[in-house]
Amino acid sequence: MLARKRITYLRVISIFLNPSRQLNSTIKPYTPTPYTPHPTPHTLHPTPSFTNSRPTLNAIARFH
């Protein structure tokens, strides 16, 4: 009985982990796309771009 419960718990955990991995895969390509055009406005507005990039990096770090 305990072994069966452990298997179900592992399945539930894997189900919970898999969507987070899918979110990571969707987030990762999303950040480079706005990141690459940034360099030109980066010189014009250095402070706001830095403040905007920081939370996204923190969010990615938390997801990992």
**How do residues 17-50 score in pLDDT, each as one tens digit?**
665 555 555 555 555 455 455 455 445 544 554 4
pTM here is: 0.23
pLDDT at 42: 47
Q: What is the spatial distance between Cα 33 and Cα 58, in angstroms, rounded to a whole number?
A: 18
User: 14 pLDDT band (50/70/90 cuts)?
Assistant: confident
